[in-house]
Structure 1
Amino acid sequence: MRMIWVGAVLSVVGGLSAGAQVATGDAVKIAVHAGERTGKYSPDWNFFGADEPNYITAPNGKKLLRELHDLSPVPVYFRPHNLLTTGNGDGSLKWGSTNAYREDADGKAIYDWEITDKIFDSLKDAGVRPLVEVGFMPEAMSTHPQPYRHDFPKGDVFTGWSYPPKDYDKWGALVEAYATHLKARYGAETDTWLWEVWNEPDIDYWHGTPEEYDRLYDVTTAAIRRVIPAAKVGGPSATGIHVGKSEHMLRQFLEHCESGKNAATGEVGAPLDFISYHPKGSPKVVNGHVEMGLGEQLGSVERGMKVIASYPKWKQTPIIMTEIDPEGCAACKGPQNGYRNGPLYGVSVAEAMARSYELAKIYGVNLQGGVTWAFEFEDQPYFAGFRELATNGIDKAVLNVFRMYGKLGGDWVKTESSGELGVEEIIRDGVRAKDDVGAIATRGERAGAREVDVMVWNYSDEDVAGAAAKIQMTIDGLPKGTVQVEEFRVDEAHSNAYGVWKRMGSPARPSAAEQGELEQAGKLESLGAASRVKVKGGGVGVPMMLPRQGVELVRISW
């Protein structure tokens, strides 16, 4: 049962979830002003990606793609690595391949789109749009081809695929043939896709100079645009942004696109429809528990926006953070990454996405998207600690946070929270001294109904038990009459298949019945039936006890 009040009248009384700690101290007051619209809501969360493109075609991969499509009416994009990497199409950790390019004994190109077609067909069948990351270097074209395939986690992963081409003309011809094939197979849909050149050229993903990356960018975008003139192209997909190498990479790239000599056309500048970079956090184990690094992650978001805002030509160019994650390696396991099985991963995403909107508004830049670098891994144990959205067909708690984000729409409305930390405070100090209890809200229409959707979080960097937040939330600016109130929750006890799996005894091979129970537990859970409430004084109240590392979505509709 939940508590709902109207004006000063308490209409339903309820209690805490089982296992939640009792809140102490003053209640957090959250006010949602549904009549005060603050701008058009544009989703930034609807982008996903992975190192391993071949997992897209696996049964669990196809299932998950359909779930991503179903998150929301807005288009969902998927960004895979390794779309031009040489190999037989087998996937493994941090590896994938398509064998798109080989050469005969005379050095003539052999193009093979069979594996590529399976990947793009799976995306098309699910209704998911590609964010085509053009890379990596085929073995026959690499300036340093051997060794080529790595064996992660053993040895160096940055092998022959990470080097520049021996012949930029051959590279341009490959990209043009690739775009031509995709255009012929998928038609006008390719005009809606996004095209990004390479990945993280400021580190060992690119064994070339920044200037060589500029050349690669020029040749690649020119080849794409010859085939698909309306193609939206972007880069440089730099890490961070951090002070030093990655900031230099971004700045020199923006300056090249504005005033440098184009290596493909000989003209001044290069096309740039979106700017990409990769903010990451850095969790660590402190005193036996995980301590997240949200401040570091948001600091990287901010530095990238500051750099872009400093260039008048590029300040309003869409920004897509083509990887934005709590840490840097989806396929890496270890005690510092164990949080990824449960709700802490989800609440950290909820906060990072919300705060990225806030930073974009502060710096006056155009945030279009943030790619969550997580999908699913094949042939791995259940809940192995990877950064993934699902494990063996079972959705993790983080996917339910995206289901919450999918319920937002329309316009932003003003929200205030007495428990919310300032974004600059988080960047400076993290979220350690006290929990951050904040909210965002939108107002829109869907299926003929008007609605206000409010996302509330209770986040701490510290992965330890803590008191629930006692929250008194009011939503004003509502019309006279009655409204329907629905509540959805992600926390240790709700929408968390990992908790159910642990209570089962952590079975390595769940039975069919257990698998079904776990798949059901992976869905977004509501807190009871929807309630009909009469509006008094222009508003309603929804109090809640929100556990630490919990997220709640409240929908008011009429």
Structure 2
Amino acid sequence: MVAKKKETISGLIPLIFGLFVIVIVVLVIPTAVQYVGKAAGVPANLVFNYEGVLGKLPQPWRNLDQGGEEPKEMLASVVEEVKELNPEYIRLDHIYDAFKVVSRTDGRLTYDWTGLDKAIEVILATGAKPFLSLSYMPIVISSGDMIAPAKDWNEWGQVVQATIEHYSGRSQKNIDGIIYEVWNEPDLFGGYKTYGGKNYLEMYSASAKAAARAQNVNPFEIGGPATTGLYQNWEERLIKYVAANDLRMDFLSWHRYSYDLEQYERDARQARKWAENIPALVNLKFYVTEWGHNSEVDPGYDEKFGAIHTLAGARVMMGSIDRAVLFEIKDGPGAEKYWGRWGILTHEKFGTPEKKPRYHALQFLNNLGPYRLSVAGEGSWIKSIASTDDKGNLKIMVVNYDPKGLHSEAVPMTFENLPKGNFKITRTEFMGSSRTLNVATTSATWKTSEFFTPNSAAMFTVEF
């Protein structure tokens, strides 16, 4: 009997060892390789397919934000500079407190739109449409200060309805396509939550119902919550709440300040996952309504680093985020001209506003063509956007972003299915010089290698 047990155990040893090897191969090794690969990074090997047209080029970067640096209209001095960037939308917050819109007369709410009208007129003068953050709480309806809840959410609803009817109303300002966002960073400004006494869901419900009551208005959008980040206890709860209560929500919004490009991608995937199984929100849009590398004052906003982050960030959000609203257009009036503020333009306190590198990054992106081409082989640091213009010429942006400022890379670039052999390729450095190469070839495929120093970018134009 003992001998048979030994034989049985002896026979099981190879099987146990085999199972152990399978576990190692299937579970441990891939995890280890993934960890090492991520730590070391993956080099790029870019492949551009001339025939791989994906449709119209998404341009989420054509949306700008002006924060409440001063309690007044701030953009009149930079209309021409902003117009050059061809923005689709300009976002404003502080619309009720900065412009003192709401008061009470004989027990009724009354409105003075004079100051906010001027700010909206300046936005329209840039060629953009208004994106209005419905903030902050008018003191006459507040239970405390300008970030406290309304004493009566019905009165907040009256303010929202009046705002929509004034600007979107066909018999009033008659502006088409305005975006209304319910509050700004409610988790920070007011300490709101999605439950309890300071319940953002009550604010959103009152706002959405007010939007539904608005009469004789042009098409507009309404959404939120514009939190300081993407949080499950905010965004997912809001999604479920609006679905359960049959409320209108055209977009889900949040803010993201991060050096980590993968964070922007994770946000987009997660937000879509929360909404994907709710039929009522099948057309929900996803907006990042403030973004940059640091939510605090940072020298990078005055330097090339901020621009390279903008180029790379625009690439990773393209196709997954519908609007990425860059914060912000103009610095507030600091003690110095350059003080690490978020603006892409300096303040006029120090003379004519100057364009910072992030301004030039947006211009750089706008040099791309209107049609998107497929790109394969991006790496950990190297990102690329490929496009064609109306003449069929290629315009390709390549950026090398490393938050540590250390990584350089020689990037193999392969062009496939080229229309004919002879062409001219020009490399234009971001905020730098250009060089051109004339290529004569009989092949539809052409290969080259281009070197990128840390935190650099270039635009490649291929003319046939």
Instruction: Give the TM bin, normalised by the shorter chain.
Output: 0.7 to 0.9
2:328–2:344 CA contact under 8 A, matched in 1: yes
In structure 2, what is the equivalent of residue 396 of structure 1?
Answer: 356
User: RMSD in angstroms over aligned alpha carbons?
Assistant: 3.0
In structure 1, what is the equivalent of residue 250 of structure 2?
Answer: 273
Alignment of 1:299-448 (within 5 A): 299-328=266-295, 332-333=296-297, 337-357=298-318, 360=320, 367-380=321-334, 381-392=336-347, 393-417=353-377, 420-421=379-380, 436-445=381-390
Alignment of 1:25-174 (within 5 A): 29-52=45-68, 57-58=73-74, 61-62=75-76, 64-72=78-86, 75-85=87-97, 97-104=98-105, 106-144=106-144, 160-174=145-159
In structure 1, what is the equivalent of residue 227 of structure 2?
Answer: 238
2:45–2:379 CA contact under 8 A, matched in 1: no
2:395–2:460 CA contact under 8 A, matched in 1: yes
Q: Secondary structure at the match of 1:394?
A: coil
2:184–2:225 CA contact under 8 A, matched in 1: yes
**Residue identity in the other structure for 2:284:** T
Is the aligned partner of 1:253 residue 2:208?
A: no
Is the aligned partner of 1:178 residue 2:192?
A: no
Q: 1:474 aligned to 414, 434, 443, which one? A: 414
- 1: distance between equivalents of 2:411 and 2:359? 24
Following superposition, the deviation at residue 248 of structure 1 comes to 1.4
Question: Taking structure 1 as reference, are residues 53 and 210 closer, same or farther at Cα in structure 2, changes over 3 Å only?
Answer: farther
The Cα offsets for residues 202-259 of structure 1, whole Å up to 9 and x where unpaired, read as 3444546547422322322333341326221111223321xxxx31111221112112
Following superposition, the deviation at residue 177 of structure 1 comes to 2.4
Question: Taking structure 1 as reference, are residues 27 and 240 closer, same or farther at Cα in structure 2, changes over 3 Å only?
Answer: closer
Question: Taking structure 1 as reference, are residues 189 and 441 closer, same or farther at Cα in structure 2, changes over 3 Å only?
Answer: farther
Total equivalences in the alignment:
413
2:167–2:174 CA contact under 8 A, matched in 1: no
Q: Secondary structure at the match of 1:382?
A: coil
In structure 1, what is the equivalent of residue 200 of structure 2?
Answer: 213
- 2: distance between equivalents of 1:183 and 1:316? 22
- 2: distance between equivalents of 1:467 and 1:33? 27
2:58–2:318 CA contact under 8 A, matched in 1: no
Alignment of 1:477-556 (within 5 A): 477-480=417-420, 482-490=422-430, 495=431, 525-527=432-434, 533-534=439-440, 536-539=442-445, 543-556=449-462
Following superposition, the deviation at residue 64 of structure 1 comes to 4.0
**Residue identity in the other structure for 2:61:** W
User: What TM-score results when the alignment is normalised by the length of structure 1?
Assistant: 0.67
1:55–1:376 CA contact under 8 A, matched in 2: no
The Cα offsets for residues 158-211 of structure 1, whole Å up to 9 and x where unpaired, read as xx2111111223222222222233246996862222111112333444546547
- Greater C-alpha Rg: 2
1:486–1:554 CA contact under 8 A, matched in 2: yes
Following superposition, the deviation at residue 479 of structure 1 comes to 1.9
2:287–2:323 CA contact under 8 A, matched in 1: yes
**Residue identity in the other structure for 1:238:** T
Question: Taking structure 1 as reference, are residues 542 and 161 closer, same or farther at Cα in structure 2, changes over 3 Å only?
Answer: farther
Question: Taking structure 1 as reference, are residues 32 and 139 closer, same or farther at Cα in structure 2, changes over 3 Å only?
Answer: same
**Residue identity in the other structure for 2:329:** F
- 2: distance between equivalents of 1:368 and 1:240? 17
Q: Percent identity at matched positions?
A: 18
- 2: distance between equivalents of 1:109 and 1:316? 35
2:169–2:218 CA contact under 8 A, matched in 1: no
- 2: distance between equivalents of 1:248 and 1:271? 20
- 2: distance between equivalents of 1:304 and 1:256? 15
- 1: distance between equivalents of 2:442 and 2:44? 22
**Residue identity in the other structure for 1:36:** G
In structure 1, what is the equivalent of residue 15 of structure 2?
Answer: none
**Residue identity in the other structure for 1:190:** I
- 2: distance between equivalents of 1:351 and 1:313? 33
1:351–1:457 CA contact under 8 A, matched in 2: yes
- 1: distance between equivalents of 2:448 and 2:175? 45
**Residue identity in the other structure for 1:108:** R
Question: Taking structure 1 as reference, are residues 450 and 83 closer, same or farther at Cα in structure 2, changes over 3 Å only?
Answer: same
**Residue identity in the other structure for 2:107:** G
Q: Which runs of 5+ in 1 are unaligned?
A: 1-25, 86-96, 145-159, 261-268, 282-291, 361-366, 422-435, 496-524
Question: Taking structure 1 as reference, are residues 164 and 240 closer, same or farther at Cα in structure 2, changes over 3 Å only?
Answer: same
**Residue identity in the other structure for 2:94:** N
Higher relative contact order (CA 8 A, sep 6+): 1
1:27–1:472 CA contact under 8 A, matched in 2: no
Q: Secondary structure at the match of 2:176?
A: helix
Q: Secondary structure at the match of 1:401?
A: helix
In structure 1, what is the equivalent of residue 209 of structure 2?
Answer: 222
Q: Secondary structure at the match of 1:555?
A: strand
- 2: distance between equivalents of 1:42 and 1:215? 34
1:280–1:296 CA contact under 8 A, matched in 2: no
**Residue identity in the other structure for 1:323:** E
User: What TM-score results when the alignment is normalised by the length of structure 2?
Assistant: 0.79
Following superposition, the deviation at residue 324 of structure 1 comes to 2.6
**Residue identity in the other structure for 2:183:** W
Question: Taking structure 1 as reference, are residues 470 and 404 closer, same or farther at Cα in structure 2, changes over 3 Å only?
Answer: same
- 2: distance between equivalents of 1:547 and 1:439? 15
Question: Taking structure 1 as reference, are residues 114 and 33 closer, same or farther at Cα in structure 2, changes over 3 Å only?
Answer: same
- 1: distance between equivalents of 2:73 and 2:184? 22
- 1: distance between equivalents of 2:239 and 2:228? 15
Q: Secondary structure at the match of 1:178?
A: helix
**Residue identity in the other structure for 1:551:** A
Question: Taking structure 1 as reference, are residues 182 and 216 closer, same or farther at Cα in structure 2, changes over 3 Å only?
Answer: same
Following superposition, the deviation at residue 54 of structure 1 comes to 5.2
Question: Taking structure 1 as reference, are residues 476 and 189 closer, same or farther at Cα in structure 2, changes over 3 Å only?
Answer: farther
2:192–2:200 CA contact under 8 A, matched in 1: no
- 2: distance between equivalents of 1:42 and 1:303? 20
Deviates most, 122-131 or 474-483: 474-483
